[in-house]
Structure 1
Amino acid sequence: MGVSSSYLSRAQVQQLLGVNTFGMWRLARKYDKFPKPTQKTGGHFDAKEREEVWESTSVYSWAAKTPEFAHRGAVLRRPLPEVLAPGRWAGYRDTPQGPAQDWHTDLGLIRIVHRGGSFTASNAATALRDQGNKDGVVTLCVLYGDMGRRGPALVAADIAHPSIEYEASWGDVTALAGQVLPWWPALLRLPEVIRHWTPGAAEVVVEVPADDHEKALRRAAANGTFEATSRTAAQDMANSIRNDRINYTSNDVRIFCKDGYGETPNRVVAGAVPDMSSHPLPCGGNREALMAGWRALALHTHPDAVAALEVASVRDPALLPFGATTEIPVQQGIISDRWTRRLTMCDPTAAHAVLAHDTKPEAFFIDPLTDMPVLRTSGDDGKLAWRFYAPLSLPVGGAELASLVLHHTLWVTTSDGHVHPAPCTPTDHLWWGDGWGDRPSEAAAVTDQLLDNLSATVDLHHHYEAPKGLTALFNEEHREGTELTRATLLHARMTPPRTR
Structure 2
Amino acid sequence: MGVSSSYLSKAEVQELLGVNVFGLWRLARKYDEFPQPTDKPHDPFAKFRDKNQEPEEVWDGTAVYRWAARTPEFAHRGAVLLRPLPEDLVPGQWAGYQDTAKGPALDWHTALGTIRMVHSDDRQVASSVASALAETGNPAGVVTVCALYGDMSFTGPALVAADTAHPGIEYEAEWGDVAALAGQALPWWPHLLRLPQLISTWEPGAPRAAAEVPPNANEKILRRAARNDAFDADARTALTDMANDIRNRRTTSVAHDNEIFGKRGYREKPNPVVIAAEPDTARHPLPLADDRQVLLSGWRKLALSSHPDAVAALEVAVGREPDLLPYGALTEVPDRPGTIIERWARRLALCDPTAAHAVLADDDRVDAFFLDPLTDMPVLRTPADRGEPTWRFYAPLALPANGAELASAVLHHTVWITTSDGHVHPAPCTPTEHLWWGNGWGDRPSEAATVIDTLLNDLSAAVDLREHFNAPKGLVALFNEEHKQGTELTRSTLLQARMRPPRTR
- The TM-score, its normalising length taken from structure 2, stands at 0.95
Counterpart AA for 2:139? K
Pick which of 384-393 and 289-298 moved more.
Answer: 289-298
Counterpart AA for 2:244? N
Contact 1:236 1:285 in 2 (8 A): no
Match of 1:218 among 219, 223, 229: 223
In structure 2, the residue matched to 1:374 is 379
Q: In percent, how many aligned pairs have the same letter?
A: 67
| Secondary structure class of the residue paired with 2:366 | coil
Counterpart AA for 1:408? H
The CA distance in 1 between the partners of 2:269 and 2:52, in whole Å, is 52
- Deviation of the 1:288 alpha carbon: 2.4
1:280 aligns with 2:285: yes
Structure 1 residues 150 and 384 mapped into 2: Cα distance closer, same or farther (>3 Å)? same
Pick which of 110-119 and 455-464 moved more.
Answer: 110-119
The CA distance in 2 between the partners of 1:418 and 1:92, in whole Å, is 70
The CA distance in 2 between the partners of 1:275 and 1:74, in whole Å, is 40
Within 5 Å, give how 1:74-85 maps onto structure 2. Answer: 74-85=79-90
In structure 1, the residue matched to 2:207 is 202
The CA distance in 2 between the partners of 1:75 and 1:274, in whole Å, is 35
1:129 aligns with 2:134: yes
The CA distance in 2 between the partners of 1:358 and 1:114, in whole Å, is 36
The CA distance in 1 between the partners of 2:461 and 2:306, in whole Å, is 30
- Deviation of the 1:284 alpha carbon: 5.4
Give RMSD over aligned pairs: 1.8
The CA distance in 1 between the partners of 2:220 and 2:208, in whole Å, is 27
Contact 2:237 2:289 in 1 (8 A): no
| Secondary structure class of the residue paired with 1:326 | strand
In structure 1, the residue matched to 2:177 is 172
Contact 1:256 1:266 in 2 (8 A): no
| Secondary structure class of the residue paired with 1:38 | coil
Pick which of 358-367 and 66-75 moved more.
Answer: 358-367
Contact 2:304 2:354 in 1 (8 A): yes
The CA distance in 2 between the partners of 1:432 and 1:279, in whole Å, is 47
| Secondary structure class of the residue paired with 1:295 | helix
In structure 2, the residue matched to 1:2 is 2
Within 5 Å, give how 1:70-149 maps onto structure 2. Answer: 70-149=75-154
Deviations 1:418-448 (A, max 9, x none): 0000000000000111111111110111011
Contact 1:39 1:50 in 2 (8 A): no
In structure 2, the residue matched to 1:36 is 36
Contact 1:298 1:351 in 2 (8 A): yes
Structure 1 residues 242 and 67 mapped into 2: Cα distance closer, same or farther (>3 Å)? same
- Deviation of the 1:49 alpha carbon: 2.8
| Secondary structure class of the residue paired with 2:219 | helix
Deviations 1:281-306 (A, max 9, x none): 12252222211221122111111111
Contact 1:181 1:268 in 2 (8 A): yes
| Secondary structure class of the residue paired with 2:167 | strand
Deviations 1:94-139 (A, max 9, x none): 1111111111110001111111222221122112211221111111
Contact 1:379 1:385 in 2 (8 A): yes
| Secondary structure class of the residue paired with 2:72 | coil
Match of 2:405 among 396, 400, 404: 400
In structure 2, the residue matched to 1:253 is 258
Counterpart AA for 1:377? T
- The TM-score, its normalising length taken from structure 1, stands at 0.96
Q: Runs of 4+ in structure 1 displaced over 6 angstroms?
A: 45-48
Give aligned pairs, total: 500
> Where in structure 1 are there 5+ consecutive unaligned residues?
none
Pick which of 230-239 and 48-57 moved more.
Answer: 48-57
Counterpart AA for 1:72? R
Structure 1 residues 39 and 206 mapped into 2: Cα distance closer, same or farther (>3 Å)? closer
Contact 2:408 2:490 in 1 (8 A): yes
The CA distance in 2 between the partners of 1:378 and 1:9, in whole Å, is 52
| Secondary structure class of the residue paired with 1:457 | coil
In structure 2, the residue matched to 1:293 is 298
- Deviation of the 1:498 alpha carbon: 5.0
1:14 aligns with 2:14: yes
Deviations 1:318-375 (A, max 9, x none): 1110000001112211101111111111111111111111212221111111000111
